[in-house]
Structure 1
Amino acid sequence: MFYVCPACESGNKLDLNFDIKEYVCNTCSYLIDVENNKHQKHIKIPTENVVLDIGQKGIIDNTEYTVTGIIIRKYGTSIFWREYYLKDTKGEDAFLSESDGHWVLLHNIDKMDVKRKSWNSLILEYGAVSFRKYETTECHIHAAAGFFEERLDFGISTYKEYVNGIYMVSEEKSKTSVQYFSGKHISKYKVKKAFGISNLPNYSGIGIVQPFYVNVKHTINIMAVSALLISLIQLYVVGTRTNKSVFEQEINFADVRNKEMVSKSFDLSGGSAPLKVEVSSNVDNSWANVGLGLVNEKTNEIVFASKDIEEYHGYEDGENWSEGRRDESFNFCGVAPGKYHFIISAEKQETPKVMPPSYYATQDGSLTLSRDNNGTINVTNNNTMETTAFGDSKMIKEDTTSSLGQFVHKTLGKADIDSLLNTNLAAGATTPELTENKSVKIKAEWLPVSFRNFVFVLLFIIGFVVAVWFGRKSFERSKWFNSSNSPYTYS
Structure 2
Amino acid sequence: MHYICPLCKTENTIDADFEISEYVCKSCSNLINVPQNTSTKVVKKPIENVVLEVGQKGTIDVTDYTITGIIIRKYGNSIFWREYYLKDKKGQDAFLSESDGHWVLLHPIDKMEVKRKSWNSIILEYGSLKLRRYETTECHIHAAAGFFEDKLDFGLTTYKEYVNGTQMISEEKSKDGIQYFYGKHISKYKVKKTFNIANLPNYSGIGIVQPFYVNVKQAINILAVSALIICLIQLYVVATRTNALVFEQEINFSDVADKEMISKSFELSGGSAPLNVEVSSNVDNSWANVGLGLVNEKNNEIVFASKDIEEYHGYEDGESWSEGSKNESFNFCGVAPGKYHFVISAERQEPLKTSRPAKYLSPDGNLSISREENGTISVTNQSTFETTSFGYAKMIKKDSVSTLGQLVHKILGKADIDSLLNANAQAESISATPENKSVKIKAEWLPVSFRNFVFVLLFLIALVLGLYFGRKAFERSKWFNSSNSPYTYS
Same fold (TM > 0.5):
yes
CA distance in 2, matches of 1:90, 1:485: 38
Number of residue equivalences: 484
In structure 2, the residue matched to 1:330 is: 330
**Kept in 2: contact 1:117–1:125 (CA 8 A):** no
CA distance in 2, matches of 1:84, 1:408: 126
Which residue identity is paired with 2:470?
G
SS of 2:353 mapped into structure 1: coil
In structure 2, the residue matched to 1:478 is: 477
**Kept in 2: contact 1:356–1:432 (CA 8 A):** no
**Kept in 2: contact 1:81–1:99 (CA 8 A):** yes
Residue 120 and residue 253 in structure 1: after superposition, are their counterparts in 2 closer, same or farther (change >3 A)?
Answer: farther
**How far does residue 196 in structure 1 lie from its aligned partner after superposition?**
1.1
**How far does residue 54 in structure 1 lie from its aligned partner after superposition?**
0.5
Residue 34 and residue 410 in structure 1: after superposition, are their counterparts in 2 closer, same or farther (change >3 A)?
Answer: same
**How far does residue 183 in structure 1 lie from its aligned partner after superposition?**
0.1
Which residue identity is paired with 1:224?
A
Matches within 5 A, 1:423-434: 423-424=423-424
**How far does residue 313 in structure 1 lie from its aligned partner after superposition?**
4.5
| Higher mean C-alpha displacement, 380-389 vs 281-290 | 380-389
**How far does residue 70 in structure 1 lie from its aligned partner after superposition?**
0.4
SS of 1:46 mapped into structure 2: coil
In structure 2, the residue matched to 1:309 is: 309
Identify unmatched segments of 5+ residues in structure 2. none
CA distance in 1, matches of 2:87, 2:75: 26
Residue 284 and residue 176 in structure 1: after superposition, are their counterparts in 2 closer, same or farther (change >3 A)?
Answer: same
Residue 127 and residue 432 in structure 1: after superposition, are their counterparts in 2 closer, same or farther (change >3 A)?
Answer: closer
In structure 2, the residue matched to 1:274 is: 274
**Kept in 1: contact 2:353–2:430 (CA 8 A):** no
CA distance in 2, matches of 1:277, 1:414: 63
Residue 384 and residue 95 in structure 1: after superposition, are their counterparts in 2 closer, same or farther (change >3 A)?
Answer: same
Please give the per-residue CA displacement for 1:161-211, whole angstroms capped at 9, x wherever unaligned.
000000000001111221100000000011111111121013200000000
**How far does residue 296 in structure 1 lie from its aligned partner after superposition?**
1.6
**Kept in 1: contact 2:237–2:448 (CA 8 A):** yes
**How far does residue 418 in structure 1 lie from its aligned partner after superposition?**
2.3
Asked whether 1:189 is paired with 2:189, we answer: yes
**Kept in 2: contact 1:381–1:387 (CA 8 A):** no
**Kept in 2: contact 1:240–1:270 (CA 8 A):** yes
**How far does residue 148 in structure 1 lie from its aligned partner after superposition?**
0.4
CA distance in 1, matches of 2:289, 2:172: 85
CA distance in 2, matches of 1:408, 1:264: 69
Residue 393 and residue 322 in structure 1: after superposition, are their counterparts in 2 closer, same or farther (change >3 A)?
Answer: farther
Residue 387 and residue 29 in structure 1: after superposition, are their counterparts in 2 closer, same or farther (change >3 A)?
Answer: farther
SS of 1:210 mapped into structure 2: coil
**Kept in 2: contact 1:103–1:188 (CA 8 A):** yes
**How far does residue 423 in structure 1 lie from its aligned partner after superposition?**
2.9
Residue 193 and residue 141 in structure 1: after superposition, are their counterparts in 2 closer, same or farther (change >3 A)?
Answer: same
**How far does residue 357 in structure 1 lie from its aligned partner after superposition?**
1.8
Matches within 5 A, 1:346-425: 346-360=346-360, 369-378=369-378, 387-388=388-389, 390=391, 392-393=392-393, 396=395, 411=409, 415-424=415-424
CA distance in 1, matches of 2:472, 2:309: 58
Asked whether 1:448 is paired with 2:426, we answer: no
In structure 2, the residue matched to 1:460 is: 459
Which residue identity is paired with 1:303?
V
**How far does residue 293 in structure 1 lie from its aligned partner after superposition?**
1.2
**How far does residue 384 in structure 1 lie from its aligned partner after superposition?**
11
Residue 97 and residue 317 in structure 1: after superposition, are their counterparts in 2 closer, same or farther (change >3 A)?
Answer: closer
CA distance in 2, matches of 1:251, 1:308: 15
Give % identity: 73
Matches within 5 A, 1:240-251: 240-251=240-251
Residue 48 and residue 389 in structure 1: after superposition, are their counterparts in 2 closer, same or farther (change >3 A)?
Answer: farther
**Kept in 1: contact 2:311–2:322 (CA 8 A):** yes
Which residue identity is paired with 1:32?
I
| Higher mean C-alpha displacement, 156-165 vs 343-352 | 343-352
In structure 1, the residue matched to 2:94 is: 94
In structure 2, the residue matched to 1:64 is: 64
Which residue identity is paired with 1:373?
E
CA distance in 2, matches of 1:184, 1:298: 59
Identify unmatched segments of 5+ residues in structure 1. none
**How far does residue 417 in structure 1 lie from its aligned partner after superposition?**
3.4
Asked whether 1:343 is paired with 2:348, we answer: no
Asked whether 1:6 is paired with 2:6, we answer: yes
**How far does residue 453 in structure 1 lie from its aligned partner after superposition?**
0.1
CA distance in 1, matches of 2:26, 2:414: 129
CA distance in 2, matches of 1:331, 1:458: 24
CA distance in 1, matches of 2:68, 2:81: 17
**Kept in 2: contact 1:268–1:338 (CA 8 A):** yes
**Kept in 2: contact 1:289–1:348 (CA 8 A):** yes
| Higher mean C-alpha displacement, 159-168 vs 84-93 | 84-93
| Higher mean C-alpha displacement, 335-344 vs 381-390 | 381-390
**How far does residue 120 in structure 1 lie from its aligned partner after superposition?**
7.3
CA distance in 2, matches of 1:137, 1:260: 86
Which residue identity is paired with 2:442?
K
